[in-house]
Amino acid sequence: MNGTKRRLFALGAAGLAAGAMPLPVALANEGGYQRELMAIFGPLIGWAFIGTGLLAWMRRPENRVGLLMIAVGFSWCASTLIASDQTALFITGYLTIALPYAILYHLLLAFPDGRLHSTLERVLVVAGYFSATVLKVIETMFEETAGTTRGYPENPLLITSDENLWIDVVQLRPTFGVLLALGVVMVLVWRWRAARGPQRRALTPVLVAGSLVTALLALYLGAGVIGISEVRNELEIGRIAVLAMLPFAYLGGLIHSRVVGGTAVSKLIARLGDQGRRVDVRDELAQALDDPSLALAYWLPEKESYVDAAGRAIDLPLAGSGQIATTVERAGKPIAAVIHDSSLADQRELVRAAGTAASLVLENERLEAELRAKVEELRASRARIVESSDDACRRIERDLHDGAQQRLVSMALNLRLLGSSLDANPEARRELESVRAELRAALEELRELARGIHPPMLSDRGLDAVLEGLVHRAPLPVELGATPGERLPERIESTTYFVVSEALTNVAKYSRATHARVDITRENGSVVVEVSDDGVGGADPAKGSGLLGLGDRVAAIDGKLEVESPPGQGTTVKATLPCV
Partner 1 sequence: MAESVLIVDDHPGFRLQARRLLESEGYRVVGEADSCASALDSARTLTPELALVDVYLPDGNGVELTSRLTSLADPPAVVLISSHDGLDLGAVVANSGARGFVAKAELSREAIEELLR
Binding site for partner 1 (CB under 8 A): 401, 405-406, 408-410, 412-414, 416-417, 420, 439-440, 443-444, 447, 451, 456-457, 460-461, 465-466, 468-469, 471-473
Q: Could you tell me the smallest distance in angstroms from the CB atom of residue 458 to partner 1?
A: 10
Q: How far is the CB of 398 from partner 1 (least distance, A)?
A: 11
- Of 310 and 413, nearer to partner 1 (C-beta) is 413
The CA-atom distances, in angstroms, between 195 and each of 36, 122, 207 are 40, 19, 12
Pick 336 or 466: Cβ nearer partner 1: 466
Strands 560-564 and 572-578: antiparallel
Cβ-contact 150, 141 below 8 angstroms: no
In the bound state with partner 1, the residue whose beta carbon lies nearer, of 469 and 541, is: 469
Neighbour order of strands in the sheet with 516-523: 478-480, 516-523, 526-533, 572-578, 560-564
Q: Which is nearer to partner 1, 32 or 456 (CB)?
A: 456
- φ and ψ at 297, to 5 degrees? -125, 135
CB 153 within 8 A of CB 145: yes
Which is nearer to partner 1, 392 or 417 (by Cβ)?
A: 417
368 vs 468, beta carbon nearer partner 1: 468
The answer to whether 223 touches 174, Cβ cutoff 8 Å, is no
Q: List, in sequence order, the alpha helices (H) in 111-196.
A: 119-130, 136-142, 163-194
DSSP characters over 376-404: HHHHHHHHHHHHHHHHHHHHHHHHHIIII
List the beta strands (DSSP E) in 311-356: 313-314, 323-330, 333-341
- Residue placing its CB nearer to partner 1 in the complex, 149 or 420: 420
Considering the complex, state which of residue 423 and residue 427 has its C-beta at the smaller distance from partner 1.
423
Which of 257/405 has CB closer to partner 1?
A: 405
- Nearest CA among 273, 291, 385 for reference residue 282: 291
Which residues on neighbouring strands pair with residue 528, listed in sequence order?
A: 521, 576
22 CB burial (10 A radius; 0-12, 13-18, 19+): buried
CB atoms within 10 A of CB 177: 26
Q: Minimum CB separation from partner 1 for residue 574, in Å? A: 24
**Least Å from the CB of residue 282 to partner 1:** 56
Our CB check for partner 1 shows the closer of 157 and 412 to be 412
Task: Tell me the closest approach of the beta carbon of residue 408 to partner 1, in angstroms.
Answer: 7
Residue 116 near residue 110 (C-beta atoms within 8 A): yes
560 has which bridge partners? Answer: 576
CB-based contact 497:470 (threshold 8 Å): yes
Smallest distance, partner 1 to C-beta of residue 410, A: 6
Nearest distance from residue 406's CB to partner 1, in Å?
7
Measure the CA–CA gap between 113 and 346, rounded to whole angstroms.
Answer: 8
Q: Residue 395 CB, nearest distance to partner 1 (Å)?
A: 16
Region of residue 524 (left: phi > 0; alpha: psi -120 to 50; beta: else): left
CB of 392 to partner 1, least distance (A): 21
Question: In this structure, what DSSP letter does residue 315 have?
Answer: P
Q: Which is nearer to partner 1, 230 or 423 (CB)?
A: 423
**Shortest Cβ distance from residue 505 to partner 1 (Å)?**
16
Residues in the chain: 580
Closer residue to partner 1 in complex, CB, 7/436: 436
Output 150 or 440, the one with its CB closest to partner 1. Answer: 440
Distance from C-alpha of 8 to C-alpha of 498, rounded to nearest angstrom: 80
Q: How far is the CB of 461 from partner 1 (least distance, A)?
A: 7
Please state, in angstroms and as integers, the Cα–Cα distance from residue 74 to each residue in 29, 48, 63, 249, 567, following that order. Answer: 21, 11, 19, 19, 95
Q: Measured from the CB of residue 474, what is the shortest distance to partner 1 in angstroms? A: 10
Of 395, 336, 412, residue with least CA distance to 370: 336
Q: What gap in Å lies between CA 129 and CA 99, rounded to an integer?
A: 7
- Give whichever of 438 and 564 is closer to partner 1, judged by the CB atom: 438
**CB of 405: closest distance to partner 1 in angstroms?**
5
| CA distances (Å), origin 399, targets 184, 225, 450, 495, 522 | 79, 97, 10, 22, 34
Least distance CB 421 / partner 1 (angstroms): 8
Residue 334 carries which DSSP code? E
